[in-house]
Amino acid sequence: MIKLGLLLQKCYDIYVGNELKKEEKLTMNQATPTGTEHSHITNHRFFARIYERLSRGPTENSFMDPLRRETAGQARGVVLEVGPGNGLNFSFYDPAQVEHVEAAEPDTAMLRYARQRLETARVPINLVQAAAENLPFADATFDTVVATLVFCSVTDPARGLQEIRRVLKPGGTLYMVEHVRSPKPWAARIQDIITPLARRVSGNCHWNRDTARKVAEAGLHITSQRDLRGIFLPMVVLQATYQ
């Protein structure tokens, strides 16, 4: 049984590896962090397809819409969205407040859905294939950065948050919604156990990250934080800035 599992895992890794190589060839001419840096570019086709399907379900509207309003809906000026995925925040950007949005998404499969969802936007949005760890923008470019359900998946969250701090204008705001590590030790332990499987099947998603702590460690000052209870998927909604 274990051998069968390992064999299936190996087949999956070879399949994903081959797909990634194909996609890297295709994306060589697209905007990337340095033009040669591809280390964080992914192609999670299976996860993207499932995520898109779930996005059309009732949970998205009833649970996530208010949180998107509380984050993307508050953005103003020149905005960076990190990891927009299939573009569910796009319709929440307010044309009365937002000049334009740069949306940096590293995953090729997600980008396809995001491109389709551009038509829901009421503000100009430019999609760029790039990861949080290596943002292709000058220092102090953005008034607002938005990240929703992203930092559970970012490979190097500390570096990603340093990059956000670099591209944010002094006094600018980071709006974030993330599911995070449980404050209850026993639940956190179960999250630790689930995480390796969750990473495999849901695009590197870690159930056990203390993202608010990482935001503070990156030198950003948390100005508001709301904790949403949940046993295995508690969430945090926060705003942060720096001077």
Ligand X SMILES: C[S@@+](CC[C@H](N)C(=O)[O-])C[C@H]1O[C@@H](n2cnc3c(N)ncnc32)[C@H](O)[C@@H]1O
The residues binding ligand X (CB under 6 A) are 40, 82-85, 88-89, 105-107, 110, 131-133, 148-150, 153-155, 160, 203
Radius of gyration of the chain (CA): 18
Nearer to ligand X, 151 or 182 (CB): 151
| Least separation in angstroms between CB 73 and ligand X | 13
- How many residues are listed for the chain in this entry? 243
Nearer to ligand X, 36 or 243 (CB): 36
- DSSP E strands in the chain: the ranges are 77-82, 98-104, 125-128, 142-148, 168-179, 221-228, 235-241
Nearer to ligand X, 80 or 188 (CB): 80
Nearer to ligand X, 132 or 167 (CB): 132
Contacting residues for 34 by C-beta, under 8 A, at least 6 apart: 134, 136
Nearer to ligand X, 1 or 104 (CB): 104
Q: What are phi and psi of 161, to 5 degrees?
A: -75, -35
| Least separation in angstroms between CB 242 and ligand X | 20
Amino acid at 199: R
Q: Are 165 and 218 in contact (CB under 8 A)?
A: yes
| 3-state secondary structure at position 237 | strand
- Alpha-carbon distance of 53 to 142, in angstroms, equals 32
| Least separation in angstroms between CB 154 and ligand X | 4
| Least separation in angstroms between CB 29 and ligand X | 20
Token pair 């859905």 is found at 113
| Least separation in angstroms between CB 192 and ligand X | 20
| Least separation in angstroms between CB 41 and ligand X | 9
Nearer to ligand X, 172 or 203 (CB): 203
Q: Residue 89's closest CA among 57, 120, 46?
A: 120
| Least separation in angstroms between CB 125 and ligand X | 13
Q: Which two tokens stand for residue 130?
A: 């790039």
- Alpha-carbon distance of 7 to 15, in angstroms, equals 12
- Alpha-carbon distance of 65 to 67, in angstroms, equals 5
Nearer to ligand X, 84 or 172 (CB): 84
Nearest residue relative to ligand X (C-beta): 85
